[in-house]
Amino acid sequence: MKLQEQNISKNNFEQCIKCTVCTVYCPVVPVNPLYPGPKQAGPDGERLRLKKGEFFDEALKYCLNCKRCEVACPSGVKIGDIIQSARLKYSRHSPSLRDTILASTDFVGSAATIAAPIVNAAVAMKPAKAIMDGVLKIDHRRTFPKYSSGTFERWFRKEAAAAQEKFDRHVGYFHGCYVNYNFPDLGKDFVKLMNAVGYGVRLVDKEKCCGVALISNKMTGAALRHARHNVDVIGKTVADAGNPVLLTSSTCTLTIRDEYPHLLGVDNSGIRDNVLLATKFLYTLVDSGKVKLVFRKDFSMKAAYHAPCHMEKLGWGIFSISLMKMIPGLQLEILDSNCCGIAGTYGFKKENYEVSQAIGEPLFRQIGEINPDVVATDCETCKWQIEMSTPYKVMNPVSILASAIDVEATRAANG
């Protein structure tokens, strides 16, 4: 009888009891009949694929990798991972030029920031959009995130790096491609906030793109190189006095913490616990009384918070929400749990545009009903999607906090 007690399946997909709640929670299923749904694509399909690889269904490319199925699963099945792993293992489609361009966020970003005004104007022009749509199959209705003139790293080295060393305590910062190439302001807000509570910021030395877009576009080799490099350089920061490495993007956080080991087989056990979203780290400090936040008296804002799918997978939405709720002048509404539909590079692809917008529709509608001053969310691609699909401006909770605090008073309180 002992044998029977020990016979516990190590095959995660076998923990599925076919309750199908994953398919109910999948945002793609109701809007795209070509997608078989997470149960069928995940644990059910895995059995068939183990029988014969030809049972791999190219329709798995319609998976957003939003991981909502995993959040819903009561049996702990890593459904999204099963689907993404199957794509990496079985798909015969190699990434197109379009996929390569979309996925190479850091390479394209570093080129584009040099000539940002020209690039921004060019990609917004009709002929360029027609070429992108017709040749590259990047949907012409999609607005491109603007590139910044000059990277965050450059600003940090010139304007901030020296001042950081005056602090006794430090945190590492993995800014990600978006902050570096598109929106350095978020990085500046992060530095401002951390400095105010008495922490100096040190950049992770030569970080590479986390690789989420490389994974979803099946550029496995590049994704592996990025993952190994990042685990290595983050490890050096962590080793430096045990400083945590903070991020302001929920997707980069999930990728480094979970996708590296689950999809790429990269061992991150040495750093995983120290890779945290900034709001989680800050909330823990405030909650334990180690730091205090003092807010401006004249701050007034109505915000609607959208928890990104990967934030829900991390289970950390509560930290961003709780911090924002501390702001006296902030009227905060929590939006229903919905996917915005963009899922990184997915929504940029011509074949996904309609589906992407249909998925986001309930979210856009609710935002309109609430009519906030800004939408708050921790994910840059959710920001693009919401800003393109609604008239509302989107801010990262870190930026909202940075603009709400009384910097001098906060410094004094944590002095």
Partner 1 sequence: MKTASSDGIYDVIIIGGGATGAGTARDCALRGLKVLLIERHDIATGATGRNHGLLHSGARYAVTDTESARECISENMILKKIARHCVERTDGLFLTLPEDDLGYQDKFVQACRASGIEAEILDPEEALRMEPSANPDIIGAVKVPDGSVDPFRLTSANVIDAKLHGAQILVYNEVTDFIFDKDRIVGVKVLDHVTGEKSCRYGDVIVNAAGIWGAGIAEKAGTKINMFPAKGSLLIFGHRVNNVVLNRCRKPANADILVPGDTICVIGTTSDRVPYDQIDDMRVTPEEVDILLSEGQKLAPCLASTRIIRAYAGVRPLVAVDDDPSGRNISRGIVLLDHETRDGIKGFISITGGKLMTYRLMAELATDLVCKKLGVTAKCVTAEVPLPGSKNESPEEISDKLSSVYANPMRASAGRHGDMASSISHGNEYDLSLVCECEDVSLGEVEYALENLDVNNLVDLRRRTRVGMGTCQGELCACRAAGLLANTKKCVADAKADLRRFMNERWKGMYPVSWGETLRENEYTLWVYAGVCGMNGHASSKTEKEAENEI
Q: For the CA atoms of the chain, what is the radius of gyration?
A: 22
Least Cβ distance, residue 73 to partner 1 (angstroms): 13
Which structure tokens are listed for 237?
């920061």
Least Cβ distance, residue 46 to partner 1 (angstroms): 7
Give the residue with the Cβ less far from partner 1, 14 or 387: 14
For residues 295 and 326, the answer to whether their CB atoms sit within 8 Å is yes
The rounded distance, in Å, linking the Cα atoms of 56 and 92 is 10
94: contact with partner 1 by CB under 8 A? no
Q: Would you call 169 helix, strand, or coil by DSSP?
A: strand
Which structure tokens are listed for 152?
């965050």
Give the residue with the Cβ less far from partner 1, 1 or 241: 1
Give the residue with the Cβ less far from partner 1, 2 or 166: 2
Q: What is the DSSP letter of 160?
A: I
- Which of 75, 100, 322, 366 is the binder for partner 1 (CB under 8 A)? 75
Tell me the one-letter amino acid at 338: N
Q: What is the DSSP letter of 168?
A: S
Give the residue with the Cβ less far from partner 1, 16 or 194: 16
DSSP notation for 283-301:
HHHHHTTSS---B-TT--E
Closest CA to 372 of 318, 297, 300, 301: 301
The rounded distance, in Å, linking the Cα atoms of 279 and 308 is 14
Least Cβ distance, residue 186 to partner 1 (angstroms): 40
Give the residue with the Cβ less far from partner 1, 42 or 372: 42
- Within a 10 A sphere around the Cβ of 160, how many other Cβ atoms? 18
Which structure tokens are listed for 34?
């070509």
Alpha-helical segments (H) within 290-373: 309-314, 317-325, 353-370
3: contact with partner 1 by CB under 8 A? yes
Contacts to partner 1 from residues 215-234, by CB under 8 A: none
10: contact with partner 1 by CB under 8 A? yes
Least Cβ distance, residue 357 to partner 1 (angstroms): 21
162: contact with partner 1 by CB under 8 A? no
91: contact with partner 1 by CB under 8 A? no
Number of residues that bind partner 1 (CB under 8 A): 35
Contacts to partner 1 from residues 11-70, by CB under 8 A: 11, 13-20, 33-34, 36, 39-40, 44-48, 50-51, 54-55, 57, 59
Give the residue with the Cβ less far from partner 1, 9 or 288: 9
The rounded distance, in Å, linking the Cα atoms of 183 and 200 is 21
Point out which residues bind partner 1 (CB under 8 A).
Answer: 1, 3-11, 13-20, 33-34, 36, 39-40, 44-48, 50-51, 54-55, 57, 59, 75
